[in-house]
Amino acid sequence: MKTGTNSASNARATLVACVAVFALGQFQRASGSVFGPVLSGTLDIPATALGLSVGAMFAATLVSQAPAGIALDRFGPRRVLLWALALVAIGTTLFAIAPDLENAAWLAVLAARVLIGAGLAATGASVQMALAQNLPAGDYGYASGLLVTLGGIGGLVGTWPLALALERFSWGLVFGVGAGLAIAVMVIVSILLPAKGPASASDVDTKISFRTLLQNEKVRGILFLAAVTYAPIVTITGLWGGPYLQDALGLSPEAAGQALMGLFATTIAAGFIFGRVDRIGHGRNKVILLTALGSATCLAALALFPKAPLWAVLLLLACSVFLQQFYIPLGVQLRDAVPASVFGRANALKLLVATGAIPVMQTAFGFILDLARTNGATDESAYRIAFGSIACTITCAVLGYRHSYRRGAGWDLST
């Protein structure tokens, strides 16, 4: 994907706006593991239902991803982002008041998560397109790494600080502030992000549909691995990490929040390191393969070694989360595999697969826990079985990626 040279001021302003958007999304994704136990205790729901409620956000993101990609190629990231952030603000406001709605509380929670998810569907692809349009092509991977590093602050806020806030303040106040932050990010985007859509109408190649993208083997290979980029991270740190640390390991809610904050701090460091490595531009495929398999190995170790000491469990979780940042060079591979005119759709397709896998994995994790407990497994054993299932899933995705991506050729508009 080729982009023109833009001014340094545009590049800096774009990065700041994109970091703000990414941080808001990370907060929303990370918060489920912290508010999940609170929500479960308040509304008295089983594990599978909790997974469905938190996963509703990601299901809405899945449904909204395709139209978001089409809109990006036609209208550009700035206009799409403003509408998307408005949905996030409305959804967070509804989420703040949901527990007070008595008999309608459960429906309000679901509706709120759907609105937030629909808004987040467009933010991920919009941020990537904004970076691709306003930064030199050689800096795209590095900027994506910085985005993870700097925007990871939002994920940190969604862990231990959120747990402290929910212990000390009311639910409505905490998430009311969250809605205010979404509005603040809208203002930042409207001021800093350049209003830039396609260079001309001819740039939007209507011949290349989502089906056409799926017919390219290189793109299909990327999509195989995209299915296990976000899902393992969000399943553990965004939902089941908190209950695991509390139910299976006996940590207090505050201590579990501190541990989850540490995991998100790991993603911050990983974003910078993966971005720096990608800037070298060599061995990208090997980096992706080795780190994806490394993450699966860490989760397999959690499954295979019972009664592991707390420090070992936390270290394995941290290593797995760190290595999952292979999605940074994977995104660069996608950018290089498709024409610039369809990058919005291609990136939305990747995010559709990556985000669509999140509610599936979250719900499946909860189902495995319920099934194992029903058959007499302890909490610790049930979680080990669930971690093992994630390790197997990542390994299968790596095999699919390696087979398809290596066979695939670069994009050929004549085919």
User: How many C-beta atoms surround the C-beta of residue 4 within 10 A?
Assistant: 9
Q: Is residue 2 part of a domain?
A: no
| Predicted pLDDT at 51 | 66
What residue has token string 């904004």?
Answer: 130
CATH number, domain of 69, equals 1.20.1250.20
Beta strands in 36-86 (DSSP E): none
- Dihedral angle, C-alpha 50, 37, 121, 147, nearest 10 °: -150
Length of the chain: 415
Domain extent at residue 232? 8-197+207-407
- Alpha carbon 317 to its chain's center: 17
Q: Is residue 364 part of a domain?
A: yes
* DSSP string for residues in 251-320: --HHHHHHHHHHHHHHHHHHHHHHHHHHHH-SSHHHHHHHHHHHHHHHHHHHHHSTT--HHHHHHHHHHH
Confidence (pTM): 0.73
Report whether 204 contacts 73 (CB < 8 A). yes
Q: Is residue 413 part of a domain?
A: no
List, run by run, the mean pLDDT of 10-residue segments along the chain (415 residues). 55 90 86 72 63 73 82 86 93 86 76 88 86 79 84 79 85 89 93 69 58 84 92 84 86 82 81 81 82 95 88 93 91 84 84 83 90 88 93 94 71 42
Q: Is residue 3 part of a domain?
A: no
CA distances from 410 to 41, 213, 339, 346, 380 (A): 52, 12, 10, 14, 46
| Predicted pLDDT at 4 | 43
| Predicted pLDDT at 413 | 39
Q: Is residue 260 part of a domain?
A: yes
Q: Is residue 359 part of a domain?
A: yes
| Predicted pLDDT at 275 | 83
Q: How far apart are CA 26 and CA 42, in angstroms?
A: 24
Q: Is residue 133 part of a domain?
A: yes
Q: Is residue 377 part of a domain?
A: yes
Q: How many structural domains are present in the chain?
A: 1
